[in-house]
Amino acid sequence: MRFSPSRLSKSEYSLWFREPEKEVLPTLEELGIGFVPFSPLGKGFLTGKIDETTTFESGDFRNIVPRFNAENRKANHAPVELLHEMAKRKNATPAQIELAWLLAQKPWIVPIPGTTKLHRLEENIGAAAVELTPRDLAEIERAASRITVQGARYPEHLEKMSNR
């Protein structure tokens, strides 16, 4: 089936949130609709720059997200370690590995990482040059399948709305 650039769906998708793999991605593929994952870097968490000691500015949305409380940030370090280890072997950053993983899932998946910094934009663009072999992808899949992420993606009142 041909994919039409004017037919797209957008949802959160990353190693930290893989729900779209169950029903959304197969349906989009069947219908020839492209997919644009937002928050592909887990709201910054998967870059490895955030840990349990990180503090966010007072207006930062992550302050009210259960997944970002200090206890859950500490518990959720496994995917960051996975990305960091692969990044060392590939001479890349964890963010580039995450984005390269998303790009390798399907040719019609185009992640949109957000940034306000030019050097991060350049880093994100560099993900397109990172080659993940089938062996690399299988290794990431094996490790990621054993990870259980702690904490809800959104506060309860917003989580209900995101599931509609």
**pLDDT digit string (tens) for 111-163?**
999 889 999 999 999 999 999 999 999 999 999 999 899 999 988 877 655 55
CATH of the domain at 54: 3.20.20.100
CA 72, 74, 75, 81 torsion-angle sign: positive
pTM for the structure as a whole: 0.89
Q: How many domains does the chain have?
A: 1
pLDDT tens by residue, 71-87: 999 999 999 999 999 99
71 is in which domain, residue-wise?
Answer: 4-162
Report how far residue 97's alpha carbon sits from residue 116's, in angstroms, rounded to the nearest whole number. 20
